[in-house]
Chain A
């Protein structure tokens, strides 16, 4: 059975509901300045607690930690079950980290009803925390769907684009459609459990213990796939993505680009629960094809984008392709690299969206045809863009390299041809980023630009520094992070050995208790 470690303090519930509580508190505040200070305080406390959780997290094991479990809907087997393991733990830290940066970013850039805005951001944080800490499928699904509410309003009400209403609606309907299929998949898992045990359960750990026929696994896999792929978004289900990220506010783009719920779902649920479907030849071939298509397609489309935000959208799609192929390489390096890359994107791609935001606030657009030579006016912006951009294109010494290198290594060991194709993505990435950088940052200053363009202020500088610190930390000394994730990655890899979930459940041991790296 899955080992579970409990903790004397319900730290995951705190992390999940504290931001929501904070949102209610600032609802009662009337002073605008107080609102943003309170929000920063709440996000800061949240991040401190998340950091403490990372400190107390036991590395090198696959055990579920900080476990909390309470009955919720007993006759359906739904329980309020929160726990984290190596797969999810870093996402909580990342969410808390990015939320603080978002609050700093929004400090005085939000003019339309800042109180509602900050409340939405905090509510969003709650749903993200819930998504990453719940291991009951229904609880997970509830947070997954609740996430749509704050994000819908953030895009619709605070989106700078002309078509932000359309983008918000499209985003909600598109992902809602996918999650319907996912819910069906979850129900089928529970029904399958019922057939074996005569009770219902939606608990991830319970579900691991019953065998599932391959044909059912395949059906459920594709149902869940639709939910995850729409949200991720996996090529070619990405058409809401450019819309929402270009029309919506930068804050939402940062979260969408930085926090990879969709691919997290594959690793969290699909692969351990449906290991035979996940390692099925057809499934792998399809996922690999989609992933590689995303890598190449995203990067080549990104090359010619004149709008920085749209470029980042396609860069993000390309990176997500890397994550997908790494996951479905089905070996240690591939999965480890994918997981690390998902975290990395929260610093690199999300970081570049912050920078796009800085540009947008000063220039009113992020179009490279209308801005050249920004290095002259904004050397700090230029420096941070270089650092974060280099992380994004995987330069050794930055976090991006470790993730991308591991993914490519994993894919290469599984199918070297796929690996060789994916390596071209590395070249295109350099092309799209550097060509943009050359045009926007280098060159003579464009005459049509405003005469006074202030460089980054202290708050913005702090955002850049925080991101850079993480980029170099993970790039140069990733050991603490790798030790946190390695145990669970190993467990997933072992789970993917052929036949684990078809076999009789008496023999199942998921996962082995304590792992050494």
Chain B
């Protein structure tokens, strides 16, 4: 029963993919949509069943579907591992995924590619489920690349837009760089353990040397940084906003981009053995959190602000991994899934109601016209900014407190500044979108309308989760969430820090002060003195344009990575056409010439030689004796010479029978 439930989880969306993919054009959009979200809903119900079972029996269980490929000392099963970590991911992926699917039916209503959209979305669900459920690295890799493919397809959904196509390619190729790292890590793991199974690898991890553990984890990190859009591989994620907004919510906020975090936590045993890798995770996470937040401060596209915010929040999760707070990382992953999906979807509702407008300079004053969207967006903002008692407060505070208590003060400071900026840019976004004077273009303003219930109901549910989701992890470090994940996410050799209550409360106070500080600043700049932001921008134009242009990182990559490779391709193509090919043609010409030489020889030497037949007989006898010497090398020489002459004759024939010799090249 349990096995069946587990197997059914990815099967339901797969059925929907096949049905909509093959026969979607035979029935109405309505049915395609029902099939799409219904299948995910069924998966969610199965996931709940699995969750109930895991609650009573948290031991890891492996469910084998079938033997995938094998040979020699290798055997890879298509198999699933169910433990508390997987269960949490399953609930998030199917639960949030279900809500986003329902919302999408409303959002995508009337689109020409409606069925195509849901085929890709369901395929994404299948891949993501394989990613989190796989019991070995290879099955995880199916999901790992599968989500990349679906992300590619969905970013390129509006394929007629040149920018969408470019963004899609970029996303896939940058992800592939990460995937290559992941592959190397997997090969290293197999070379050392002779197995791909988590249970084998993680239970024998102590046999690794520190160097090997470092090598493996650094390669895994390259994969994680690609998929989860961390420095220096984050550039694809902001561009990925070319996809429809539900895609941004599902793939580029709630699920796929968190795969890297999941992977690190899944392999935390390896990371615990590699201090260098852990330090790297923490620092990259902290820097990304800060770096992306600074860009988020000045962006004017509602989705881009949220995209940079996602990069930044993922940085928080990696920072948590780096300081050994794996449970907090997953906790933040869960709460982030709630509030970031909420923010993206409500941003989508805003865009929807404005007929496609994404520029926040052309919004403002919307709170009266779309009150429900406004309310849920505000809840999302409060949650991400870290205003207690909403979800984001608890998870973010826990990460920062953990960093502080364990002595990672530099990371704490990075995180604190990033948190301040987060609060600021989110409230900036809220103020510019919903409050103040309306800057909506008049012809758009006439049509502003609240979204249909198909969209608002999921929003309200997500808003509810964003409000109460944090209580799963209360009190910090000792909540239900921590107990549930204790066996799978506790770092090796973790010391029990007895921290005074006062310190924790003090840190909470600081966190609240940071959140409120960002809010206050945003309130002052965008509500009380709205012209102030522009004045600042004019005062220091270099800073502003650098931020607005995202530190010119894309330009840098284009110039120093993409272009050189294209130039190299051009160079080698030239080499292929003009050196290799010429060389061969040269040999061809050479044979022409030698063919003529042979003809000449035939006339002047061989016929002349006929005159000395007696001598030749002598020669022949001598060479025959030589032939019998039994030396393979001599045979070789003789046969090669003989055949070379044959070839020359063939060429001669060609040259003689047609003008091929000259027309050939």
Contact = CB atoms under 8 A, between A and B. Distances in A.
Contacts of A443: 159-160, 162, 165
A184 interface: yes
Contacts of B588: 170, 173
A9 to B, nearest CB: 30
Interface string B407-422: 0000000000000000
A412 B187 contact: yes
B183 interface: yes
A165 B160 CA distance: 40
Contacts of A424: 180
A376 to B, nearest CB: 7
Interface string A220-237: 000100000000000010
B72 interface: yes
B446 interface: no
Given A332-B74, A438-B168, A181 B173 contact: no
Contacts of A479: 66-70
Interface in A427-449: 427, 430-431, 434-435, 437-439, 441-445
B584 interface: yes
Nearest to A177: B647
B639 A301 contact: no
Nearest to B570: A304
Contacts of B521: none
Nearest to B67: A479
Given A333-B74, A482-B69, A300 B576 contact: no
Interface in B569-616: 569-570, 572-573, 576, 580-581, 583-585, 588
B72 A490 contact: yes
A188 B663 CA distance: 37
Given A390-B149, A443-B162, A479-B69, A300 B572 contact: yes
A368 interface: no
B534 interface: no
A395 interface: yes
A366 interface: no
Contacts of A304: 566, 569-570, 573
Interface in B365-400: none
A434 B152 CA distance: 10
Contact of A438 (B166, B568, B644, B651): B166
A409 interface: yes
A223 B643 CA distance: 13
B69 A478 contact: yes
A408 interface: yes
A302 B569 CA distance: 7
A430 B173 contact: yes
B584 A482 contact: no
Contact of B71 (A219, A438, A476, A489): A489
Interface string A407-421: 011001100100110
A263 interface: no
Contacts of A240: 584
A161 to B, nearest CB: 14
A482 B68 CA distance: 10
B146 interface: yes
A300 B71 contact: no
Given A239-B581, A301-B572, A441-B159, A416 B180 contact: no
A214 interface: no
Given A188-B635, A195-B630, A478-B69, A442 B180 contact: no
A332 B71 contact: yes
A239 B169 contact: no
B471 interface: no
A427 B184 CA distance: 13
Contact of B173 (A195, A243, A408, A431): A431
B515 to A, nearest CB: 41
A477 B66 contact: yes
A304 B168 CA distance: 18
A170 B74 CA distance: 44
A303 interface: yes
B165 A184 contact: no
Q: Is the interface on chain B under 10, 10 to 19, 20 to 34, or 35 or more residues? A: 35 or more
Contacts of A476: 68
A371 to B, nearest CB: 14
Given A165-B660, A173-B651, A332 B172 contact: no
A441 B159 CA distance: 8
Contacts of B190: 409, 412-413
Nearest to B152: A434
B141 interface: yes
Contacts of B633: 219
Contacts, number: 198
A332 B142 contact: no
A423 interface: yes
Given A165-B660, A390-B149, A192 B168 contact: no
Contacts of A517: 70-71
Contacts of A386: 153
Contacts of A412: 184, 187-188, 190-191
Contacts of B524: none
B159 A442 contact: yes
A284 interface: no
Interface in B152-195: 152-153, 156, 159-160, 162, 164-166, 168-169, 172-173, 176-177, 179-180, 183-184, 187-188, 190-191
Interface in A476-516: 476-479, 482, 486, 489-490, 493
B138 interface: yes
Contacts of B168: 434, 438, 442
Given A169-B664, A176-B650, A427-B173, A301 B159 contact: no
Given A174-B584, A426-B183, A427-B176, A442 B164 contact: yes
A181 B576 contact: no
Contact of B654 (A169, A177, A431, A441): A169
B531 interface: no
B172 A165 contact: no
Given A181-B640, A431-B173, A169 B632 contact: no
Interface of A: 165-166, 169-170, 173-174, 176-177, 180-181, 183-184, 187-188, 191-192, 195, 216, 219, 223, 236, 238-240, 242-243, 297, 300-305, 331-333, 336, 373, 375-376, 386, 390, 395-397, 401-402, 405-406, 408-409, 412-413, 416, 419-420, 423-424, 426-427, 430-431, 434-435, 437-439, 441-445, 476-479, 482, 486, 489-490, 493, 517
Interface of B: 66-74, 138, 141-142, 144-146, 149, 152-153, 156, 159-160, 162, 164-166, 168-169, 172-173, 176-177, 179-180, 183-184, 187-188, 190-191, 565-566, 568-570, 572-573, 576, 580-581, 583-585, 588, 630, 632-633, 635-636, 639-640, 643-644, 646-647, 650-651, 654, 660, 663-665
11 contacts: A169-B654, A169-B660, A180-B643, A184-B640, A239-B576, A333-B72, A375-B159, A405-B183, A413-B191, A434-B172, A486-B71
